[in-house]
Structure 1
Amino acid sequence: MLSRAKPAVGGTPPPGDRRRKKGKKVPQLEELLALRDFTGAIALLEFKRHVGEQEEDTDLWIGYSAFHLGDYKRALEEYEALTKQPSCNPDVWVNLACTYFFLGMYTQAEQAALKGEMYVSDGQDYLLT
C-alpha cells in the first residue's frame, strides 16, 4: 500500500540515505586523537597504510592507539617492528617497555626501558650505538 504522506518520487533523500553524506569530510588524525577515538584513528591509519599514503609516524600512532584501546598484543607487534628499523625513535623503547609491563612481561619491560635510556643523552641529540 502506498503512503499518501510521502511522495514516491523526488524530494530529499531519507536521513539514513548514503547520498546525503557526500559533503561530509574525513576526520584528521589529530581530531580523532583529541576526541580519544582510538578505534577511528586505527581505521584511518590502516586505510592510509593500505592505499600507500602512509606517513613516517603511522606505525607509531597505530601502536599508541592500540595500547590505549587495551590491545596490548597489537601494540607490541607494532612497537617491536619499529625497533627493528635503523631509524628507530628512542621513545619507541619506552612505549614498548610500557606494553611489556601491561602484558606482565616484567623482565622484557625492564630491558626495553634500559635500551631506551641508552639512546637519550642529556636532552641533546640521540646516541645511536
Structure 2
Amino acid sequence: MRPAFLTCLVSLCTLGACSSLPDPASDPYGLWTGKLVTEQGICPTRDISSLRIRGHEVVFNPGMNTSTLRGTYEKGQQHYLAELTDKGMNDTPYRQTFNGYPVGTAIGGTYTSPRCRAHVSLIRR
C-alpha cells in the first residue's frame, strides 16, 4: 500500500469515530466544559466552567470557583437544571442557577446569580 493511501484511510477512520459521538439529546452523560460569556454583571469568565451528568446527578461548577450547583436528571429529559442557595450578606439568600439544554452536539445554557447573568456553550470532554 502507498503511504498516502494509508494516511487517508487512517484519517477517515478517525473522523468516522469522532462523528459517531452521541448527541446530548440522546446521551448527555459525561463531562462538558466551556467558558461563560457575560451578559450582565460580573461573572466568573476567566476560567472554564464544567457540567457533569452522571446517573441521576447534574453538577455545574461556574468558572471553576468554589460554588458547586447540583440537580437531578432523569433519562430522556431535554433540560438540565442545577441550583445552589447560600446565605449572602445580612443572611439574605444568594441563589445561583444553571439551566441547560441540548444544542446540536453541545449543551447550551444560562448561569444566573444575584451578581451575574451569562450564557455558555459546553462541549463533551
**TM over 0.5: same fold?**
no
TM-score (norm 2): 0.28
TM-score (norm 1): 0.27
Identify the structure with bigger relative contact order (alpha carbons < 8 Å, sequence gap 6+). Answer: 2
